[in-house]
A and B are shown apart, each in its own frame.
Chain A
Amino acid sequence: MAERAHILICAGAACISAGEESFKSALERELKEAGIYEEVKIIETGCFGTCDLGPVMVIYPEGTFYIHLKPQDAKEIVNEHLLKGRVVERLLVKEPELKKPLPTINDLPFFKNQVRIALRNVGFIDPLNIEEYIARDGYSALAKVLTEMTPEEVISEVKKSGLRGRGGAGFPTGLKWELGRKAKGDEKYIICNADEGDPGAFMDRSILEGDPHSVIEGMLIGAYAIGAKKGYVYIRAEYPLAIKRLTSAIEQARNYGLLGENILGSDFSFDIEIRIGAGAFVCGEETALIASVEGKRGMPRPRPPFPVNSGLWGKPTVINNVETWANIPVIILKGADWFASLGTEKSKGTKVFALAGKINMTGLIEVPMGITLREIVYNVGGGIPGGKKFKAVQIGGPAGGCIPADYLDTPVDYESITSLGAIMGSGGLIVMDEDNCMVDVAKFFLTFTQDESCGKCIPCRVGTKRMLEILDRITKGEGKEEDLYELEELAKVVRNTSLCGLGKGAPNPVLTTLKYFRDEYIAHIRDKKCPAKVCTALIHYEVIREQCRKCAICFKNCPVGAIFKDEDGTYVIDQEKCTKCGICFQVCPFKAIKKE
């Protein structure tokens, strides 16, 4: 029977952990109970992007978008929406600024302000069904390339599109392919970098989970262009769902003859294998990644020679990021000119970001290059929660930097972001408000890179450690003014002399916070104060005598017995004993505890 409704349930990682599976089984049960199980089709998709609202689903054809689904909601949805055609209002999004529920997915400002190329199918198709991908023009670009284009024409189309690598550095993809094609050697390789080591980033994982065929098709086209017969997807073991869906997509593509020998009846042959990485940040660096695929320890080596000339097993290897690959089929189908019409002069197309931090809509977005940070934060992301003040965005992951409020109108493109000391990176975008301490933020990222340094070269291994020690002193209120000078000098040495991008990028969070938030460092050093009240050692809790109602709640809750009663029954905090856990501050019903 023709189905009258398609229910697309998000089975992205965030929705799954929010309980998507138990909701889905409840829904199936209710549909059977109501006797309409056969009339609707349930599809589990990749991440919708609205991770905060999960589990989420859309009922088509209307496009009704339901959020925060619990198993007990299933009955009402079946009885009301599916049987009687009445929208279940209480499960709709309530956009804060609109004050009214928004019934369909297309009405959400979150989606309206996006342009989806790499994410074109994510959340709209069943990633486990190759035919749904084919229905959305999937493998048509491959067919076009194999029947109508020479490898040179493919390369020139990609060059003309202006596509730059989405893995961080922004190297022109077409140029890389041209170098790969020209490189000497009969055996060549294609690699998809799906390591995605940035903390908080999940763009690449979401593409592989939600639309694995777009990456496979991109790799096929790249292989045809450079003349490779074999490709690898390097993906970290922490991404089991992505591995599962990609594995099944590769199998389906093989069954359809879209991978293997003589693809679509042509004389082009290509196949893909998955290589699972243990999840070390440095393994995302291309030379370390190649070592890891070869079965060696993932350590970077100096370049040149670059992988395009001497990569996997010494053979020419073109390595691109997941999102880069996912863009390729669309460029071929819609043409370089169409792609180049999006974005700015030097940064074409769109970029996927993982929005996180102090923002109303955390999740996954794809926006045209050149959009301003302000538009991302306020139009797409819905602004800062709780009426707090915007302070900075951290963009580019551990090698990225913090951009302050003054630069909110900066267009997001490779050059503009780099000129501010940050990097585009692979797409982590963390929004910070007045409650974030910038010294602490710098320390967080430096701790990460310091931990993840492979240790091969001294500037990165030792330099980041010394930098971290200084930052640690400052956050404890033991910093000296000379520390800032030393920190800056060290940062420059590490940046200029490290072997690979990990060490070269590690100082960026420190340098940008020093540049834009120097007064915060100085407050820590000179006034022994943390203006955002984050650094524990510098916080001080005290009872405001006039406000204390002697209720003893703080006294009862203090885990270390640091609170006592003085002669007139007012409570007092023993500063020696206080561990600054903040529990008294949270529990006091009369706001009689002061945090400074």
Chain B
Amino acid sequence: MKKLTLEELKKIKEKAQSDLQARSPEGKDKIVVHMGTCGIAAGARETLLAILDEIEKRNLQNVVVTQAGCIGLCEYEPLISVQKVGGPKVLYKHVTPEKARKIIAQHVINGQIVTEDVLSTE
């Protein structure tokens, strides 16, 4: 391997830092996928994978994805909630992988809630 220059050190740092970002939820937009048994049966796994894929593709560094259990609204599964920093927590219903990609583009990136899919806002 060729010797590192200062510039390259900085580049490695930036890249590696975004990798470590995954270890801290603070100051980041949060996406929670509800993964109760009901959610998984309704396809929450595929939704989650689509979300991860979209985040990777768009190189979104300020977003953390976590899972949560069933919240008793099984008929609306798959459910995800999105909360941008400082914004309301928005619960989306029947989130298919396609809808998930749309929510990321429209809500997470552009800050516009995808109103037709919203179940509740708090």
A and B found bound together:
yes
Binding site for B on A (CB under 8 A): 1-6, 8, 39, 41, 60-63, 82-86, 124-125, 131-132, 134-137, 139-140, 143, 147, 255-258, 260, 262, 264-265
Determine the distance from Cα of A567 to Cα of B54 in the docked complex, in whole angstroms.
Answer: 87
The reply to whether B23 and A124 contact each other, CB–CB distance below 8 Å, is yes
Query: Chain B 1-20 against A: per-residue CB contact (8 Å), 1 yes, 0 no?
Result: 11111100100110111011
Question: Shortest CB–CB separation between residue A423 and chain B, in angstroms?
Answer: 38
A385 to B21, CA, bound (A): 38
Give 7 CB contacts A-B under 8 Å: A5-B66, A39-B52, A61-B23, A61-B25, A82-B67, A85-B67, A256-B1
Asked if residues A265 and B3 are in contact (CB atoms below 8 Å), the reply is yes
A85-B33, A132-B16, A135-B13 known; A6 vs B23 contact (CB < 8 Å): yes
B32 on interface, CB distance cutoff 8 Å: yes
Provide the bound-state CA to CA distance between A125 and B24, in Å.
Answer: 13
Which of B13, B17, B36 is the one whose CB lies under 8 Å from A84?
B36
How many Å lie between the Cα of A438 and that of B103 in the bound state? 68
Query: Smallest CB–CB gap between A33 and chain B, Å?
Result: 14
The complex places the Cα of A557 from the Cα of B111 at a distance, in Å, of 75
Smallest CB–CB gap between A13 and chain B, Å? Answer: 23
Known contacts A60-B22, A84-B69; is-contact A256 B4 (Cβ 8 Å): yes
Q: When A4-B48, A256-B4 are in contact, do A143 and B9 touch as well, CB less than 8 Å?
A: yes
Query: A147 contacts which chain B residues (CB < 8 A)?
Result: 6
Contacts of A140 in B (CB 8 A): 9, 13
Taken together as a complex, chains A and B put the C-alpha atoms of A137 and B1 apart, in Å, by 22
B87 CB, nearest partner CB in chain A, Å: 18
Q: Once the chains bind, are B22 and A134 in contact (CB under 8 Å)? A: no
Q: Decide if B17 touches A135 in the complex (CB within 8 Å).
A: yes
CA distance A63 to B37 in the complex (A): 23
Q: Give the docked Cα–Cα distance between A257 and B1 (Å).
A: 8
The reply to whether B20 and A84 form a contact with Cβ atoms under 8 Å apart is: no
Which of A60, A61, A62, A134 is the one whose CB lies under 8 Å from B13? A134
A83 touches B6 (CB 8 A): no
Measured CA separation A136–B23 after assembly (Å) = 12
Select one of A1, A85, A125, A137 contacting B52, CB under 8 A: A1
For B34, the chain A residues whose CB sits under 8 A away are 85
Q: Total contacts A to B, CB within 8 angstroms?
A: 107
- Supposing A61-B64, A147-B6 touch, asked if A83 and B35 sit within 8 A by C-beta, the answer is yes
> In the bound complex, how far is the Cα of B12 from the Cα of A5, in angstroms?
22
CB closest residue in chain B, given A147? B6
Using a CB–CB cutoff of 8 Å, the interface residues on chain B facing chain A are 1-6, 9, 12-13, 15-17, 19-20, 22-25, 28, 32-37, 39-40, 48-49, 52-53, 55-56, 64-70
Verify B56–A1 contact, CB threshold 8 A: yes
Residues of B within 8 A of A139 (CB): 9
Q: Is the CB of A136 within 8 A of B69?
A: no
- Contact pick for A6, options B6, B17, B22, CB 8 Å: B22
Bound-state CA distance A3–B22 (Å) is 8
Most chain A C-beta atoms within 10 Å of own C-beta, residue among B25, B32, B37: B25
User: Which chain A residue lies CB-closest to B17?
Assistant: A135
Are the C-beta atoms of B35 and A264 separated by less than 8 Å?
Answer: no
Q: Which residue of B lies closest to A135 (CB)?
A: B16
Quick one: which of B2, B4, B37 contacts A258, CB cutoff 8 A?
B4
The listed residue (B36, B55, B67) touching A2 by CB distance below 8 A is B55
> Which B residues are in CB contact (< 8 Å) with A61?
22-25, 28, 64, 66
- List the 8 closest pairs (A to B, CB-CB), nearest first: A85-B67, A257-B3, A135-B16, A60-B23, A2-B56, A85-B68, A131-B16, A61-B25
Q: Which residues in A have their C-beta under 8 angstroms from that of B70?
A: 84
Which chain B residues border A82 with CB–CB below 8 Å? 67
- The one of A83, A137, A257 in contact with B4, judged by C-beta atoms closer than 8 angstroms, is A257
Contact A135 B9 (CB under 8 A): no
A139-B64 Cα distance, complex, nearest whole Å: 28
- CA gap between A60 and B39 in the complex, in Å: 22
CA distance A69 to B70 in the complex (A): 26
Q: Nearest B residue to A84 by beta-carbon distance? A: B35
Contact assessment for B16 and A60 in the assembled complex, using a CB-CB cutoff below 8 Å:
no
Instruction: Kindly list chain A residues whose C-beta atoms are within 8 Å of the C-beta of B55.
Output: 2
CA distance A207 to B3 in the complex (A): 27
Measured between beta carbons, the chain A residues less than 8 angstroms from B56 are: 1-2
CA distance A41 to B23 in the complex (A): 11
Q: What is the CB-to-nearest-CB distance from A195 to chain B, in angstroms, rounded to a whole number?
A: 32
Interface centre among B28, B34, B55, B65 (most CB of A within 10 A): B65
CB pair A136 B20 closer than 8 Å: yes
Contact A4–B65 (Cβ < 8 Å): yes
Q: Who on chain A is nearest to B32 by CB?
A: A85
